[in-house]
């Protein structure tokens, strides 16, 4: 057995997603994991941590597999591994549904229901296998609940019988069972599934050895720190809990060391943070009592327009004459949106105005926290919205002059990274 | 005999009435309400108006008055400011009222009125939908309760969960947290009502009103909210001195009724003759 590798874990338990980051002894990122938050906070943290260690072990085997079989083989191995995890989840979901079925439908319908479930799960598993074989498969949600929910609902619609096993019955069984699947510990870790994944990939010479070494690597957790909205309920001692503000400041500093100002626009709160040259927070301002200026504002607008949240930004970018939104409150902005649409104003122009309104609220938090003197980092879900980024760039230019604006593709892990760094620093 | 219509276009519903004046007495011939629900407001206004005319059995009107957001209605004779129509409608439904509290979907508005229906002073809630009708509707949806059940559930609770003022949109998380802590739905609703009532009582206190406060708007039908408001107003005043909220089955139509009454007044003052609107002319 190889010598133990000391690792440090940070967990960010957010209101919508839970993130985990694993660092190695040098404080470098070894793995990242994410899952949807759920009512069982301990389990959400455990799932994110497991995912982060899966990602860490894939980091360990990367060089070996790439050397033995090439980059494509590594991607294929990862897809095979995901498939094995999904098959465990589907099998468990099926068990829960079959256990619920006798109470959900009359006895006369049971044979037809059993046959329908057999067909349904047969096709769902077949779809998973096809997805694995298709390297160019379209992106889908990483979260079992979301990806499984849409696949299940689609197939249920197709094979339901309005006079027998109805769509309502099938979807009702799913809704009832998915909560059980989500709130029980499933073994989705690396050592249990990597061998099956290897078998699916064929045995390129050297690959098995690399995988075996990664599976056997002794990753010892030398320290953990928790943060986020639900941090008070994490099963950690108090000295291993840090505020979101501290973790976001340190995480942003680690990603972009010259950062002095951090703006985080999450689903339910917005923070403007000033940090020093070591990533320590010197001042901050936060809004968590009002949806205006948070990601939820744009979510509400997307609902009002019957659009997907990710469609808003690209449409707003098409605007040439943005309107000026007068309402602050999210609900009032929704009413203003409807009024403007009924007056015939263009959707893209109204949306551009709404994006500017969200960023304007953030600008006032930034100003109150001390402004932007130097390099500036934007994190949180809204940082993925191109129209919000554009509005921020313009407003920062207008108010502070030209400043370097950093946005990382991994910005969702900023808080978890900061937490992991606190754990690492404590041990150093 | 004069026949007029009043249309009150709010932000969540359109209310229409047909009024008849015989001698000095007005009577309500019909009243119709329709939710807008993301539809085109102009179309909902037209449908609601047509339904009110049909239900009243009238084809010709001396005046068609709009109020609220109905200013652009092409077939209307004239438009009246929301404050004056609510005051006038409230006094028609309750002549002893000395204040009017209009509880709409987005705003709450308090007015002190004199016996002739003139607005002496008024105050409106600020730029936040917390505590509004839309707010309560969101809460009911998060709790999986229909709006008509809200009042009864709230009244059935022995106590109210303490709710600080919360954002109408982020309330979803607050409500989920309360549910996950095991707080019964009825106690959450009673707590929400008490928090809304506190806000409304402060609004009324800034106008220093006393006597009967007539409640108008869609929320007037919420027994839980009006009950909480009555308790809150009584707790802050000497016995007998507290303002008392009162309402009428037609409370939600106060704006439309007021508009129709003002329409009759303008029709008379302008000395117009004949009908402003006939169904045969526009059919």
Given pLDDT bands bounded at 50, 70 and 90, which one contains residue A2? low
Asked if the Cβ–Cβ distance from A268 to B168 is below 8 Å, we say: no
Cβ burial, residue A284 (10 Å; 0-12/13-18/19+) = buried
Considering only the beta carbons, identify the residue of A268, A329, A335 that sits closest to B128. Answer: A329
Instruction: Please tell me the predicted confidence (pLDDT) of residue B270.
Output: 85
Given pLDDT bands bounded at 50, 70 and 90, which one contains residue A401? very high
Stretch (H or E) spanning B275: none
Tell whether A329 lies on the interface with B, counting CB pairs under 8 A.
yes
Q: Which residues from A are below 8 Å from B168, CB to CB?
A: 291, 329-331
Tell whether A270 lies on the interface with B, counting CB pairs under 8 A.
no
Q: Which residue has the higher pLDDT, A423 or A310?
A: A423
Using alpha carbons, select from A357, A396, A405, A421 the residue that is nearest to residue A23. A421
Average pLDDT, chain A: 91
Q: Mind listing the pLDDT tens digit for each residue in A91-126?
A: 999 999 999 999 989 999 999 999 999 999 999 999
Asked if the Cβ–Cβ distance from B129 to A296 is below 8 Å, we say: no
Tell whether A344 lies on the interface with B, counting CB pairs under 8 A.
no
Estimate the crossing angle of helix A347-369 against helix A295-304, to 10 degrees: 170
Size of interface A-B (CB pairs under 8 A): 49
Instruction: Please tell me the predicted confidence (pLDDT) of residue B171.
Output: 82
Q: Which residues from A are below 8 Å from B127, CB to CB?
A: 327-329, 332
Q: Mind listing the pLDDT tens digit for each residue in B24-68?
A: 999 999 999 999 887 888 999 999 999 999 999 998 999 999 999
Considering only the beta carbons, identify the residue of A304, A328, A331 that sits closest to B106. Answer: A331
Distance CA B45, CA B8 (A): 9
Asked if the Cβ–Cβ distance from A291 to B42 is below 8 Å, we say: no
Residue of chain A nearest B40, judged by CA positions: A342
Q: Which residues from A are below 8 Å from B173, CB to CB?
A: 15, 268
Residue of chain A nearest B70, judged by CA positions: A339
Asked if the Cβ–Cβ distance from A342 to B42 is below 8 Å, we say: yes
Cβ burial, residue A416 (10 Å; 0-12/13-18/19+) = buried
Q: Mind listing the pLDDT tens digit for each residue in A152-189?
A: 989 999 999 888 999 889 988 998 898 889 888 888 88
Residue of chain B nearest A338, judged by CA positions: B38
Best B38, B128, B144 residue to mutate vs chain A (most A CBs within 10 Å): B128
ipTM: 0.81
Averaged pLDDT, A120-140: 86
Instruction: Please tell me the predicted confidence (pLDDT) of residue B283.
Output: 40
Q: Which residue has the higher pLDDT, A202 or B246?
A: B246
Q: Which residues from B are below 8 Å from A294, CB to CB?
A: 170
Q: Which residues from A are below 8 Å from B180, CB to CB?
A: 39
Asked if the Cβ–Cβ distance from B169 to A330 is below 8 Å, we say: yes
**What distance in Å separates residue B198's CA from the closest CA in chain A?**
19
Indicate yes or no: pTM above 0.80: no
Q: Which two tokens stand for residue A120?
A: 């349904």
Q: Which residues from B are below 8 Å from A329, CB to CB?
A: 127-129, 168
Residue of chain A nearest B41, judged by CA positions: A342
Tell whether A330 lies on the interface with B, counting CB pairs under 8 A.
yes
Best A331, A336, A361 residue to mutate vs chain B (most B CBs within 10 Å): A331
**What distance in Å separates residue A337's CA from the closest CA in chain B?**
11
Best B127, B129, B181 residue to mutate vs chain A (most A CBs within 10 Å): B129
SS3 per residue for chain A: CCCCEEEEEEEEECCCEEEEEEECCCCCEEEEEEEECCCCHHHHHHHHHHHHHHHHHHHHHHHHHHHHHCHHHHHHHHHHHHHHHHHHHHHHHHHHHHHHHHHHCCHHHHHHHHHHHHHHHHHHHHHHHHHHHCCCCCCCCCCHHHHHHHHHHHHHHHHCCCCCCCHHHHHHHHHHHHHHHHCCCCCCCHHHHHHHHHHHCCCCCCHHHHHHHHHHCCEEEEEEEEECCCHHHCCCCHHHECCHHHHHHHHHHHHCCCEEEEEEECCCCEEEEEECCCCCEEEEEEECCCCCCCHHHHHHHHHHCCCCHHHHHHHHCCCCCCCCCCCCCHHHHHHHHHHHHHCCCCHHHHHHHHHHHHHHHHHHHHHHHCCCCCEEEEECHHHHCHHHHHHHHHHHHHHHCCCCEECCCCHHHHHHHHHHHHHHHHHC
Tell whether A338 lies on the interface with B, counting CB pairs under 8 A.
yes
* Plot region of B240 (φ>0 → left; ψ -120 to 50 → alpha; else → beta): left
Residue of chain B nearest A39, judged by CA positions: B180
Asked if the Cβ–Cβ distance from B167 to A330 is below 8 Å, we say: yes
Q: Is B250 helix (H, G, I), strand (E, B) or coil?
A: coil
Best B167, B171, B175 residue to mutate vs chain A (most A CBs within 10 Å): B167
Instruction: Please tell me the predicted confidence (pLDDT) of residue A350.
Output: 97
Q: Mind listing the pLDDT tens digit for each residue in A365-391?
A: 999 999 999 999 999 889 999 999 999
**Chain B residues contacting A, CB < 8 Å?**
11, 38, 40-42, 69, 106, 127-129, 132, 134-135, 166-170, 173, 180
Residue of chain A nearest B69, judged by CA positions: A339
Asked if the Cβ–Cβ distance from B129 to A332 is below 8 Å, we say: yes
pLDDT under 70 in chain B at which residues?
165, 280-283
Given pLDDT bands bounded at 50, 70 and 90, which one contains residue A72? confident
């Amino acid at each position: 057995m190889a010598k133990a590798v000391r690792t440090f874990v940070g967990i960010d338990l957010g209101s919508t997603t839970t993130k985990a980051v694993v660092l190695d002894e040098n404080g470098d990122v070894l793995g990242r994991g994410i899952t949807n938050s759920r009512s069982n906070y301990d389990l959400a943290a455990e799932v994110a941590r497991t995912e982060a260690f899966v990602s860490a072990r894939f980091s360990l085997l990367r060089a070996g597999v790439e050397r033995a079989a090439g980059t494509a083989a590594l991607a294929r191995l990862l897809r095979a591994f995901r498939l094995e995890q999904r098959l465990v989840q589907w099998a468990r979901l099926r068990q829960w549904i079959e256990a619920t079925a006798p109470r959900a439908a009359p006895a006369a319908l049971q044979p037809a229901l059993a046959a329908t479930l057999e067909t349904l799960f047969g096709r769902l598993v077949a779809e998973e296998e096809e997805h694995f074989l298709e390297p160019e498969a379209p992106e889908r949600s990483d979260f079992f609940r979301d990806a499984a929910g849409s696949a299940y609902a689609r197939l249920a619609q197709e094979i339901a019988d309005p006079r027998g096993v109805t769509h309502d019955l099938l979807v009702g069984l799913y809704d009832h069972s998915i909560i059980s699947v989500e709130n029980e510990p499933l073994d989705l870790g690396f050592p249990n599934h990597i061998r099956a994944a290897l078998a699916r990939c064929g045995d390129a010479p050297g690959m098995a050895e690399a995988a075996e070494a990664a599976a056997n690597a002794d990753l010892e957790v030398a320290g953990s720190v928790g943060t986020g909205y639900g941090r008070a309920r994490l099963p950690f001692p108090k000295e291993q809990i840090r505020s979101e503000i501290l973790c976001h400041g340190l995480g942003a500093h680690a990603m972009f060391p010259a950062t002095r100002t951090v703006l985080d626009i999450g689903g339910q709160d917005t923070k403007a943070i000033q940090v020093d040259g070591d990533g320590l927070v010197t001042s901050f301002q936060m809004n968590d009592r009002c949806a205006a200026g948070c990601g939820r504002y744009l979510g509400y607008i997307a609902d009002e327009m019957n659009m997907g949240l990710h469609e808003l930004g690209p449409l707003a970018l098409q605007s040439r004459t943005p309107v000026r939104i007068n309402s602050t409150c999210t609900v009032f902005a929704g009413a203003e949106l409807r009024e403007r649409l009924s007056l015939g104003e263009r959707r893209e122009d109204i949306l551009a105005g709404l994006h500017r309104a969200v960023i304007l609220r953030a600008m006032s938090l930034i100003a109150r926290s001390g402004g932007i003197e130097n390099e500036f980092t934007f994190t949180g879900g809204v940082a993925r919205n191109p129209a919000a980024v554009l509005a921020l760039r313009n407003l920062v230019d207008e108010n502070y002059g030209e400043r370097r604006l950093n946005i990382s593709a991994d910005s969702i892990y900023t808080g978890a990274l900061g937490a992991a760094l606190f754990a690492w620093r404590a041990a150093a | 005999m004069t026949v007029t219509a009043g249309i009150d276009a709010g932000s969540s519903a359109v209310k229409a009435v047909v009024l008849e004046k015989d001698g000095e007495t007005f009577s309500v011939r019909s009243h119709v309400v329709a939710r807008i629900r993301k539809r085109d407001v102009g179309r909902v206004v037209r449908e609601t108006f047509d339904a009110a005319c049909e239900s009243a059995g009238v084809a010709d009107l001396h005046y068609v008055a709009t109020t609220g957001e109905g200013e652009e209605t092409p077939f209307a004779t004239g438009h009246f400011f929301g404050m004056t129509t609510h005051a006038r409608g409230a006094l028609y439904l309750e002549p002893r009222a000395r204040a009017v509290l209009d509880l709409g979907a987005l705003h709450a508005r308090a007015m002190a009125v004199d016996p002739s229906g003139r607005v002496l002073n008024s105050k409106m809630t600020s730029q936040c939908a917390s505590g509004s009708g839309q707010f309560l509707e969101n809460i009911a949806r998060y709790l999986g309760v229909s709006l008509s059940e809200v009042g009864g559930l709230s009244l059935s609770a022995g106590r109210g969960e303490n709710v600080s003022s919360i954002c109408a949109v982020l309330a979803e998380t607050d409500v989920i947290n309360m549910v996950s802590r095991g707080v019964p739905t009825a106690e959450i609703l009673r707590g929400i009502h008490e928090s809304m009532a506190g806000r409304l009582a402060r609004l009324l206190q800034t106008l220093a009103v006393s006597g009967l406060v007539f409640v108008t708007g869609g929320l007037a039908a919420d027994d839980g909210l009006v009950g909480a408001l009555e308790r809150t107003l009584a707790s802050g005043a000497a016995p007998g001195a507290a303002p008392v909220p009162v309402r009428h089955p037609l409370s939600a139509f106060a704006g439309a009724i007021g508009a129709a009454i003002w329409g009759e007044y303008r029709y008379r003052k302008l000395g117009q003759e004949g009908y402003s609107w006939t169904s045969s002319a526009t059919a």
